[in-house]
Amino acid sequence: MSGNIPGPSKALEIQVPCIVFLVVMPAFVAIRLWSRIKSKTGLGWDDWSILTSCIFAVNVMVFMLASCAYGFGQHIANLTEKNRIMTLKLFFVSQAFYKLTLNMTKISILMLYLRIFIQSWFRIICFVLLAIIASYMLAAFFASVFQCTPVARAWDKTISGSCIDITTNWYANAGFSISTDIIILALPMYPIYHSKMVINRKIALMGVFALGAFVAVTSIIRMQTLDASSTSSDTTYDLASSVWTIVEENMAIICACLPMMWAPLTRLLPCIFPSSHRGTDTGSSSDFRGSRRNTTSHSRTNWNQLRANHGGESSISLDPISVFPVRTSEDSTGNILPHRRGEEGMYHDGKGIIKVPAYQRSSP
């Protein structure tokens, strides 16, 4: 039987961010996919992963909004038994999708790294992280679904049975999320810093990847709310962790899309985000993806020969010592990232990735 505890409904605290992110977040994903399709590089596993994450996130917000219709945001004592059970059941489902959303976003970012960076040590780290995160995602999902025995006890405590320690489980998930956020954030900084890009492109690209720090910050803030939410007897009214759950998962997806928005940014802010088709002489290394300026006639001949051998694309990075075909597809980031001599390079012909050997420029 419902009670009459005074206090305004907090449903708007859930409804407003859900509605905003239901518009903004899919728009970022759509721009990312459009940019990839428009650049003729095709959609990769990273794109399909972020699209899957987007679908999961939309499910979280739809279930959250539906729970508000049944009383989420109101004191649990004021709800009828039917509404209380339905509210907690919808919240239960949204929490399971949240585990999938956050970890699938991390998987997408790591797959993007594999598409951009070709250093062998870097790729090994990415594959290890992929295995860890994918395994944890499945474990966290099933732990969320089967947190109680029987399962229905998760939303109806009148049913006899047992449940895991929710507080410990939530803190474990938050700790894993924050630690992997930091690792994924730091991972590309070293290869970008040592890349052949000019300094302003390095700074701009590192800044784009560093925006992921905001996700780590939201995860830390959310972590501060977990104890109160997991131990509260008024679970439908104490919404702090739920609000930060919505912010965290959506900002993670948005930040994961930002590196693929390099092309639109070069058109909007060319001074801050220089185009990858602008030739620049940096002394020890240069970006020659779209320009032939500041090269000797011999290096120009070598470059033209390489372009002829690999379909005419300008996926070549030159320096005074050697010529390396570098994986620099005409999408998103426009990276020119070097690899060690003797390693295979990666060439993107607009349809797929082709491995090509490293080249040593002969003396003029």
pLDDT in tens, 234-259: 888 888 889 999 999 999 999 898 87
State the CATH architecture for 11-268.
Up-down Bundle (1.20)
Query: Among 114-118, 119-123, 204-208, 338-342, which range has the highest average pLDDT?
Result: 119-123
Q: What is the DSSP letter of 258?
A: G
Please give the full DSSP string across 277-312, using - where no structure is assigned: TS-EE-SS-EE-SS--TT--HHHHHHHHHHHHHTTT
Return the minimum-mean-pLDDT range out of 60-69, 187-196, 258-267. Answer: 258-267
Structure tokens, 282: 């940096």
Are 307 and 313 in contact, with CB atoms under 8 Å apart?
yes
pLDDT at residue number 265: 62
Q: In the predicted model, is pLDDT for residue 7 greater than 60?
A: yes
pLDDT at residue number 106: 95
Helix axes 166-186, 120-145, angle to 10 degrees: 160
pLDDT at residue number 330: 39
**pLDDT, mean of residues 11-17:** 93
Phi-psi region of 165 (alpha: psi -120 to 50; beta: other; left: phi over 0): beta
Distance of CA 284 to the CA centre of its chain: 33
Give tens-digit pLDDT for 305-361.
333 333 333 322 222 222 223 333 333 344 334 444 444 444 334 333 344 444 433
pLDDT at residue number 4: 62
Residue spans of beta strands (DSSP E) within 180-322: 280-281, 286-287, 316-318
Three-state SS at 316: strand
Query: Where are the chain's structural domains?
Result: 11-268, 280-356
**Site of tokens 């099933």:** 142
Structure tokens, 73: 């945001």
Select from 146, 278, 261, 134 the least CA-distant residue to 204: 261
Query: pLDDT confidence of 22, banded at 50, 70, 90?
Result: very high
pLDDT above 90 covers a percentage of the chain that reads: 40
Positive/negative CA dihedral, 148, 137, 11, 30: negative
pLDDT at residue number 334: 40
CA distances in angstroms from 88 to 59, 63, 64, 147, 249, listed in the order given: 16, 10, 10, 14, 20
pLDDT at residue number 246: 94
Count CB atoms within 10 A of the CB of residue 230.
17
Count, residues in the chain: 364
Query: Among 45-49, 225-229, 263-267, which range has the highest average pLDDT?
Result: 45-49
CA distances in angstroms from 34 to 43, 52, 114, 264, 268, listed in the order given: 9, 16, 20, 11, 16
pLDDT above 70 covers a percentage of the chain that reads: 70
Rounded CA separation 46/49 (Å): 5
Which has the higher per-residue pLDDT, 269 or 102? 102
Which has the higher per-residue pLDDT, 148 or 335? 148
**pLDDT, mean of residues 22-40:** 88
Which has the higher per-residue pLDDT, 84 or 260? 84
Structure tokens, 2: 């419902």
The overall average pLDDT reported for the chain is 75
Three-state SS at 33: helix
pLDDT at residue number 124: 95
Determine if the pTM surpasses 0.75: no
Query: pLDDT confidence of 269, banded at 50, 70, 90?
Result: low
Query: pLDDT confidence of 154, banded at 50, 70, 90?
Result: very high
Please give the full DSSP string across 134-185, using - where no structure is assigned: HHHHHHHHHHHHTSEESGGGGT-TTS--EE--HHHHHHHHHHHHHHHHHHHH
**pLDDT, mean of residues 118-133:** 94
Q: In the predicted model, is pLDDT for residue 184 greater than 50?
A: yes
Q: In the predicted model, is pLDDT for residue 30 greater than 80?
A: yes
Structure tokens, 97: 């999708």
Structure tokens, 362: 């002969």
Residue spans of beta strands (DSSP E) within the chain: 148-149, 162-163, 280-281, 286-287, 316-318, 323-325, 345-348, 353-356
Select from 216, 218, 197, 219 the least CA-distant residue to 206: 197
CA distances in angstroms from 21 to 61, 246, 317, listed in the order given: 9, 8, 40
Q: In the predicted model, is pLDDT for residue 283 greater than 60?
A: no
Which has the higher per-residue pLDDT, 314 or 180? 180
